[in-house]
Structure formats: C-alpha cells, structure tokens
Structure 1
Amino acid sequence: MTTRILYSLCGADESRPFSPHCWKVVLALKHKGLEFEERPTPFTQIPDLEGGFSKTVPILRDGNELIRDSFDIALYLEERYPNRPTLFGGEGGKALSRFVERFSQSIVHPAVTGIAVADIHDMLDETDQIYFRTSREKFLGKTLEDMRSGREAAVSAFAAKLEPVRQTLAHQDFVGGDGPLFADYILFGALQWMRITTGAKVFAPDDPVGLWFERCLDLHDGVGRSVTAA
C-alpha cells in the first residue's frame, strides 16, 4: 500500500482535477517514477486536510513527511530521490524554473483566469460556488458575468503572451532542452488548467507552443490526457 498521497483540487466531479499547481506535481512525481495516490478535494474542504496543514493544495504526504507548495514539493522530490531522473538538472535548472514560475504566475495565470474563471465556477458544487464567486469577484474587481463577456477577447489575446516561449522552442523541443524538466511542468500546468476547465482553442495548428503542449500531454504514458478537455 502506497503511503504517498497527493491532495489535489477538483470541482463537483472528482475525476476532473484541474489545479495548475497540482498538475505540476503530478508530472513531477511521474518524472521521478514514484507511485502515489491522488485525492482530489473541493476548495472548501482543503482546510480540513491533514489537520489543517495548508489552506491550499497541492499537499504531498510522503510517508511521515508533509510538504505544501508545488515548487517546494519539486525541490523535496529532487533532494529525497536523487538517484531518480532529475527535475532540474542542477542549480541552473532550479534558476530556470524559478524564472518560468514567475513568468507563468505573472503573465500566463492572469490570462488563463480571464478565459476560465466563469467556467471554473460552473464546475463546482453549490458550497464551493458561493466561496469561489465571493473570493474571485473581490480579487478581480469584476463579476464572473463580466469576466465571461470578455472571454472571446481573452482567447484571442492569449497566444501572443507566450512569444518568449515560442522563440525558445524554435531551438529545442522542451523548455528544459532536449527533454522535459520541472520548468516545462510549470508552464504545462497552466495550459492544462485551461484545457480541462474551458477547452479553449488558443493556438494555431502549427504554433510551436501548442505542439510542445501536445508533446507534454503525451509524456509519462499520456498522464496529461487522463483527464479530457472540456
């Protein structure tokens, strides 16, 4: 019986975990070849997990160890399992991943939010919908209906925001180089979040970023495709 548990985020349907941060950890665990049990959890039940260990997911329980935050989990896995495939390829890869994390959080996540936030609300059960609407409308300064009305414009503007990634992928198959590293999983998580919650088509068929995303969906026996697009 595995003692490795990943607590992730879901809406009313537990079979459709969608958190970008949790998807980063799913691919990191697969990259390391580590078995785990995923336990998708609704927003309002997260504070009850592991005695209130964290207000957010992902949370990883690895035996007696509890770790929160996707980046901290990746660092833990790299240190705890050094003889398994590396997530960073050294200190330079950690620095690259920190840059990609900031790019994703400051540029990509707000863009996905503009597309997905109303759809995410619709995926939740009633209790979570009340929490989500209140917290997100306060944060965004707009109603979910206002966000939904701007969705088409947000979809049209999305691809251009990834131009630095597009130019990088002109020289290599992955952000991490010849093969994927945690830097790839960070950006993958954001696009997987959008894929599962909205299914929005944001890339032209020949867009290098879209083609890279398809390669990432195929990694680790296609775990990214285990949840279908909306």
Structure 2
Amino acid sequence: MTILLHDLVGADPARPFSPHCWKVAMALAHKGLPFACNSVTFTQVPLIEDGASRTVPVIRDGSRVVADSFLIAAYLDETYPDRPSLFGGEGGEAMARFVEAWSQSVLHAGLNMIVLEEIANLLSPEDQAYFRPSREARLGMTFGEVAERRAAEIAGFSARLTPLRMMLRSQPFIGGASPLFCDYIVFGALQWARITSSAKILEAGDPVTDWFERCLDLHDGLGRSVPAAA
C-alpha cells in the first residue's frame, strides 16, 4: 500500500521546500516504502486529514495518520522493522534527538534569517498574508529587521556547521558508514535553503558540502528531484 505524504509547497506545486517534509521523504525512501505526495500550501494545512495537525509533515498509512517528522520516523521503524532502520537502535534514536535539537536551535535559527524573505516570495498572496505575520510573531521581529541581519547570517553560517564539519572528516555520514535519520534531519535544513534561497552558504571543498552532495545523490537522487533556487 502506498503511503501518502502531505507535503508543503508554495505557489509552484513542483517545488516542495519544508525541511521537515524532506526529512520524511528521505526516511520513506530509506525504508524502501512507496509513497505519494499531496501538495498543500500553508493555508491548506489545517484542512488535511480532518484537521489532524496544525503543521506538516503528516502521513497516512492505511488507516493510520501520523504527524511530526520525528514521530513519523519512529512509527516507520516500529511498523516496518524488516526494512532498513532509520535509527539503528535505541542509541541511534537518542542521538537523533540531540541532532534534531541542534538543528532546530542552531541551524534553523540562522537559516530563518537567510531564507525568510525568499520563502515569502514563493507564496501566493493568500499564503503571504498568513506567513508574514505568523513568522514575525514567532521570531519576535519584523521582516525588515530580519533583512538587516541577513548578510551577517550568511557570512557567519559556516561557523554554525563546525561540529558537523569536524565529525565528517572521519566518516562519510552522521550515522557512520551509511545514513540514518540523523542525516536526514540536517539534510532537510540545508535542502530547505537550497530550494528556497539563492544564498551561498556551503563552500567548495568543505566536508559538509561533500556530505550534502552525497545526501542529494541518495535514493536515486531524490534530493535533486527539485532544482536549486536560481
């Protein structure tokens, strides 16, 4: 049975960009589970699955509806234990929780300053009317104030990747010899920027850049199925 992934898009349904939905798409591909995407915009999210969640990703697997990327990954490993594991055991799941906290508090904090205005430009007027005030309230600053910080955030973003860079000098993936869900967590954040923003935040020759390219090639190049922003 094909799993349905409710996936976030802007005005162009061919360019899904949510970092959290990308985590789930990569997780489903990792497990070798067939899935289809239902493209939804910000203002359509409350309507999916009878209001099952205020945010995406949400999946439907037969009669089961599961929301939240981490909970979805845990559900997939529990429900399909015969397929490649996303965590590699309890220790891997615990590690992934740390990576999730680091990604949200460090990477997303910087990326919000970098991609916010460009995301708004990808949306329909109806979604822009929702997105701008909701993000200003969440961040506690106006779009103008965010724009003033953008150049500095781009210049300093490489420093946010230092722990990842140091680790990737000795192994090809965060999960070790092969990727795990912890890789997809960080991949989702950088894929979010790749699809929505023209900002250059990764440098040639950097171990992080090489890792990201490897992730883009995973699962028959799933990550490359959406071209980078011009």
Query: TM-score higher than 0.5 here?
Result: yes
Counterpart residue number, 1:186: 185
Task: Give the CA RMSD over aligned residues.
Answer: 0.9
State the partner residue of 1:155: 154
Contact 1:3–1:61 (CA under 8 A) maintained in structure 2: no
Unaligned runs of at least 5 residues, structure 2: none
Gaps of 5+ in 1: none
- Which amino acid in the other structure matches residue 11 of structure 1? G
* 1:136-183 Cα distance to aligned partner (Å, 9 max, x none): 112223221332233221111101101010111011000000000000
- Structure 1 distance, partners of 2:225, 2:198, is 14
Match of 2:127 in 1: 128
The one-letter code sitting in structure 2 at the alignment partner of 1:44 is T
The 3-state SS of whatever aligns with 2:172 is: coil
Correspondences of 1:140-151 after superposition (within 5 Å): 140-151=139-150
Paired residues in the alignment total 229
- C-alpha contact 2:9 2:39 (8 A) present in aligned 1: yes
Is 1:114 the counterpart of 2:113 in the alignment? yes
Q: Would the aligned equivalents of 2:2 and 2:33 in 1 still touch at CA under 8 Å?
A: no
Deviations 1:183-219, CA, capped at 9 Å, x for gaps: 0000000000010010321122011111100100000
**In the alignment, which residue of structure 2 is the partner of 1:41?**
40
Contact 1:188 1:213 in 2 (8 A): yes
**Mapped partners of 2:218, 2:89: distance in 1:** 21
Which SS does the other structure have where 1:102 is aligned? Answer: helix
Among the aligned pairs, what percent are the same residue?
55
Q: Give the secondary structure class of the aligned counterpart of 2:82.
A: coil
Residue 101 of structure 1 aligns with which residue? 100
Tell me the SS of whatever aligns to 2:161: helix
CA distance in structure 2 between the aligned counterparts of 1:14 and 1:110, rounded to whole angstroms:
26
1:3 CA drift (Å): 4.0
8 Å Cα contact 1:118-1:145 kept in structure 2: no
Q: Secondary structure at the match of 2:205?
A: coil
Aligned mates of 2:203, 2:119 — CA distance in 1? 24
CA contact (8 A) 1:104 1:186 kept: yes
Runs in 1 of length 4+ with deviation above 3 angstroms? none
Q: For residues 162 and 194 of structure 2, what CA distance do their matches in structure 1 show? A: 19
Moved more, 192-201 or 171-180: 192-201
Q: TM-score, normalised by structure 2?
A: 0.97
Q: What residue in structure 2 maps to residue 82 of structure 1?
A: 81
Per the alignment, residue 137 of structure 1 pairs with: 136
SS of equivalent to 1:150: helix
Distance 1:37 1:203 in 2: 30
TM-score (norm 1): 0.97
